[in-house]
């Protein structure tokens, strides 16, 4: 199924989940695919198609039971369980990510932090003792790390990711401005903030419509 489900479907499922949790908080009992679509900025047919990849939900004419559908979407997205995450890079971006409450709320627990700065190694952040990247293999194994958040400069990234993957990491959230090479079966999501600004600059530059 993984191959047949596009990135944009997964993105929409994340949107649906946010809407469903908002409805849950407001004690809504049911929601129609039309309402869900309206709030997600898509069509009811798209909502039904996205969900149909993963089984049969809702009853025609009755809509979806909100808490049930929220549970289903959480399960589909792999959020029915906690994930053990290591943060590599304890600089500005890294420390902001470490304190980012929405990660933990969603079940992503940063259980390890690694940084090469000798002044940081051995210090403790909310009970997590910072370790040197030389200890990558031991950290991944001892802490049961499944996902790596990469917040180090570009040059250092590839070699450290290779060691993390060899030690058992299966997913990487990459903030380094490099294209990582990973073996099949390892998932990478890139967050390139400069690229997002470039996309804005493109849109603003070509907003008139007459290019070049």
- Cα–Cα nearest to 111, from 132, 129, 135: 129
Cα–Cα dist 68/74, whole Å: 10
* Total residue length of the chain: 212
Pick 116 or 186: Cβ nearer a copy of itself = 186
- Contact between 55 and a copy of itself per CB under 8 A: yes
- Contact between 132 and a copy of itself per CB under 8 A: no
Q: Where are the alpha helices (DSSP H) in the chain?
A: 7-25, 33-40, 44-52, 66-77, 92-98, 101-105, 136-143, 154-166, 193-205
Q: How far is the CB of 124 from a copy of itself (least distance, A)?
A: 18
- Contact between 158 and a copy of itself per CB under 8 A: no
How many chain residues touch a copy of itself (CB under 8 A)? 66
Q: How far is the CB of 204 from a copy of itself (least distance, A)?
A: 5
Pick 119 or 207: Cβ nearer a copy of itself = 207
Q: Kindly report each contact of residues 138-143 with a partner whose C-beta sits within 8 Å and lies 24 or more positions away, as own/partner.
A: 139/86, 139/112, 139/114, 140/86, 140/112, 140/164, 140/167, 140/168, 140/169, 141/167, 141/168, 143/84, 143/86, 143/111, 143/112
- Contact between 60 and a copy of itself per CB under 8 A: no
Give the residue carrying structure tokens 């090469």.
116
Among the candidate windows 42-50, 111-119, 136-144, 195-203, which touches a copy of itself by CB under 8 A? 195-203
Among the candidate windows 28-36, 58-66, 136-144, 182-190, which touches a copy of itself by CB under 8 A? 182-190
- Cα 137 to chain centroid, rounded: 23
- Contact between 52 and a copy of itself per CB under 8 A: no
* Chain residues in the site for a copy of itself (CB under 8 A): 1-3, 5, 7, 10-11, 13-15, 17-18, 41, 53-55, 75-79, 83, 92-93, 95-97, 99-100, 102-103, 106, 108, 146-147, 170-173, 177, 179, 185, 187, 189, 191-212
């Amino acid at each position: 199924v993984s191959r047949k489900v596009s990135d944009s479907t997964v993105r929409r499922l994340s949107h649906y989940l946010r809407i469903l949790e908002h409805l849950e908080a407001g004690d809504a009992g049911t929601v129609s695919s039309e309402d869900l679509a309206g709030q997600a900025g898509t069509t009811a047919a798209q909502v039904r198609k996205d969900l149909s990849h993963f089984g049969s939900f809702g009853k025609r004419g009755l809509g979806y039971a909100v808490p049930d559908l929220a549970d289903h979407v959480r399960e589909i997205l792999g959020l029915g369980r906690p994930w053990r995450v290591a943060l590599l890079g304890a600089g500005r971006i890294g420390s902001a990510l470490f304190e980012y409450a929405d990660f933990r709320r969603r079940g992503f627990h940063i259980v390890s932090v690694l940084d090469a700065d000798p002044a940081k190694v051995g210090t403790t952040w909310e009970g997590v003792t910072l370790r040197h990247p030389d200890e990558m293999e031991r950290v991944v194994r001892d802490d049961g790390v499944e996902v790596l958040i990469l917040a180090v400069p570009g040059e250092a990234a590839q070699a450290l990711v290779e060691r993390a993957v060899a030690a058992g990491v299966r997913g990487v959230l990459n903030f380094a401005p490099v294209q990582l090479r990973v073996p099949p079966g390892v998932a990478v999501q890139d967050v390139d903030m400069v690229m997002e600004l470039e996309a804005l600059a493109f849109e603003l530059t070509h907003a008139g419509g007459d290019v070049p």
